[in-house]
């Protein structure tokens, strides 16, 4: 089975998979392989996707690789009916210069072959298709210039690259935008959001942009689209002492929390008490693991809040995000 993750986080993923009996046999930039097991785990943090039953296909040239991938696809699709769009994905390991261009060239050559041999199926291919959960299609990952790992199935854990907004005050904005896809909901007009550790205001701006009312708690200044925003109230207070019922007379619809603080402290003294006191309906909380053991933190977070979905987002760095 092939797992994809953010390049540089393969060993974090390896430590997450090991207790599940999945032992790494090979890895590279942004990918990790295990001998095939019964199925891909339904919930993982560091994996962005899993390709079960992936096969290795090699070819010296672009055309040779494309031809062998086409043979594999046509053989496996022989008795399959294609009624609508199906996902087609070609990508590559993240550590070799020029491999992305190679993957594009192999995809182009593959699509030409497919058009010649199965024109209707080729027309239904949807290269950008990406939804959480299991999909059937064709998924190709070039691990070097002559080698691809190829599967007909993909389990996606929900991470995806988001588009920036010129008014967003920080790159952090992209994390909360991505987290909405994991939770399956976004703040809505009339809802209230408490944003702890809000400055310079990327998360607050994202919620205000959707018409929600935001209380942004941080000693630092708000900037760009969050500054003087009529839907955002800025309070220069300590996040650990903030009580939404005392401040606004009622619990919040959303808790956002992106504090640069010890993650155990955030878990123990913000998220858990907020959930116990029912101070929020939904939450998006980012825990920074730069100075702690990420595997131990993940285990603790899962044990303390079993219902949380925890993901190392596409836009996360030394941190992961809990939503629920
Ligand atoms: C990574 S930044 C938040 C970025 C923000 N989510 C955005 O989208 O722009 C972390 C923030 O946590 C704030 N912070 C750290 N400890 C805090 C505390 N005890 N109370 C309030 N804010 C705190 C820092 O001032 C800093 O602005």
Ligand 1 pocket residue status of 225, Cβ below 6 Å: no
Say whether pLDDT at 36 is over 80: no
- Ranking 90-99, 283-292, 308-317 by mean pLDDT, the lowest is 90-99
Say whether pLDDT at 40 is over 90: no
238 CA: nearest ligand 1 atom: 20
Q: Which of 261, 253, 262, 267 is nearest to 310 (CA)?
A: 267
| pLDDT confidence of residue 115 | 96
Prediction pTM value: 0.94
The tens digit of pLDDT for each residue in 207-263 reads 999 999 999 999 999 999 999 999 999 999 999 999 999 988 999 999 999 999 999
Q: Ligand 1 pocket test: which of 175, 206, 218, 224 has the largest number of ligand atoms within 8 Å of its C-beta?
A: 218
* 288 catalytic per annotation: yes
Fold assignment, 173-323: Rossmann fold (3.40.50)
The residues near 166 (Cβ < 8 Å, ≥ 6 apart) are: none
Q: What is the mean pLDDT of residues 42-59?
A: 94
Q: What is the mean pLDDT of residues 116-131?
A: 88
Fold assignment, 2-156: VC0802-like (3.30.2130)
Each domain of the chain, given as residue ranges in start order, spans: 2-156, 173-323
Average pLDDT across the chain, whole number:
95
Contact status, residue 289 vs residue 320, Cβ threshold 8 Å: yes
| pLDDT confidence of residue 248 | 87
Q: What is the mean pLDDT of residues 285-305?
A: 96
| pLDDT confidence of residue 132 | 81
| Residue 128's pLDDT band (cuts 50, 70, 90) | confident
Whole-angstrom Cα distance, residue 102 to residue 92?
9
The tens digit of pLDDT for each residue in 178-198 reads 999 999 999 999 999 999 999
| pLDDT confidence of residue 149 | 96
Q: Ligand 1 pocket test: which of 259, 263, 287, 315 has the largest number of ligand atoms within 8 Å of its C-beta?
A: 259
Ligand 1 pocket residue status of 205, Cβ below 6 Å: no
E-assigned strand segments in 16-109: 26-28, 31-33, 47-51, 55-58, 86-92
Ligand 1 pocket residue status of 263, Cβ below 6 Å: no
Ligand 1 pocket residue status of 259, Cβ below 6 Å: yes
| pLDDT confidence of residue 37 | 67
| Structure tokens given for 56 | 């290795």
242 CA: nearest ligand 1 atom: 20
Contact status, residue 34 vs residue 3, Cβ threshold 8 Å: yes
Ligand 1 pocket residue status of 76, Cβ below 6 Å: no
Contact status, residue 37 vs residue 22, Cβ threshold 8 Å: yes
Q: Whose CA is nearest to atom 13 of ligand 1?
A: 197
175 CA: nearest ligand 1 atom: 8
Say whether pLDDT at 301 is over 70: yes
Ligand 1 pocket residue status of 220, Cβ below 6 Å: yes
Percent of the chain with pLDDT over 70: 99
Beta-bridge partner residues of 217 = 196, 235
Residue 201 Cα to ligand 1 middle (Å): 9
- DSSP three-state, residue 135: strand
| pLDDT confidence of residue 39 | 80
Residue 178 Cα to ligand 1 middle (Å): 19
| pLDDT confidence of residue 97 | 86
| pLDDT confidence of residue 112 | 97
Residue from 108, 175, 209, 288 carrying the catalytic annotation = 288
C-alpha dihedral sign at 288, 289, 295, 301: negative
Angle made by CA atoms 228, 230, 234, in degrees to the nearest 5: 60
Say whether pLDDT at 129 is over 90: no
Q: Ligand 1 pocket test: which of 167, 197, 219, 255 has the largest number of ligand atoms within 8 Å of its C-beta?
A: 197
The tens digit of pLDDT for each residue in 59-87 reads 999 999 999 999 999 999 988 999 999 99
């Amino acid at each position: 089975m092939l797992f994809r993750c953010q390049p540089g986080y393969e060993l974090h993923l390896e430590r997450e998979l090991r207790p599940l009996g999945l032992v790494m046999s090979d890895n590279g930039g942004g990918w990790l392989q295990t001998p095939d097991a019964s199925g891909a785990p339904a919930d993982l943090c560091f994996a962005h996707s899993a390709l079960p039953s992936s096969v290795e296909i090699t070819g010296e040239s672009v055309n040779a690789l494309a031809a062998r991938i086409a043979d594999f696809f046509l053989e496996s699709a022989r008795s399959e009916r294609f009624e609508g769009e199906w996902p087609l994905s070609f990508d590559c390991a993240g550590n070799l210069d020029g491999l992305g261009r190679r993957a594009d060239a192999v995809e182009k050559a593959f699509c030409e072959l497919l058009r010649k041999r199965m024109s209707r199926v080729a027309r239904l291919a949807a290269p950008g298709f990406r939804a959480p959960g299991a999909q059937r299609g064709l998924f190709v990952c070039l691990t070097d210039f002559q080698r691809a790992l190829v599967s007909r199935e993909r389990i996606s854990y929900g991470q995806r690259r988001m588009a920036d907004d010129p008014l967003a005050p920080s790159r952090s904005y992209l994390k909360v935008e991505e987290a909405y896809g994991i939770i399956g909901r976004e703040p809505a007009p009339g809802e209230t959001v408490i944003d702890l550790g809000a400055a310079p205001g990327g998360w607050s701006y994202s919620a205000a942009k959707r018409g929600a009312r935001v209380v942004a708690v941080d000693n630092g200044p708000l900037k760009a689209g969050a500054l003087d925003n009529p839907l955002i109230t800025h309070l220069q207070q300590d996040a650990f002492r903030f009580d939404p019922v005392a401040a606004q007379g009622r619990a919040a619809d959303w808790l956002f929390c992106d504090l640069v603080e010890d993650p155990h402290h955030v878990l123990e003294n913000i998220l858990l008490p907020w959930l116990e006191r029912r101070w929020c309906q939904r939450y998006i909380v980012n825990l920074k693991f730069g100075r702690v053991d990420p595997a131990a933190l993940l285990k603790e977070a899962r044990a303390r809040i079993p219902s949380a979905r925890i993901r190392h987002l596409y836009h996360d760095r030394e941190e992961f995000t809990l939503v629920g």
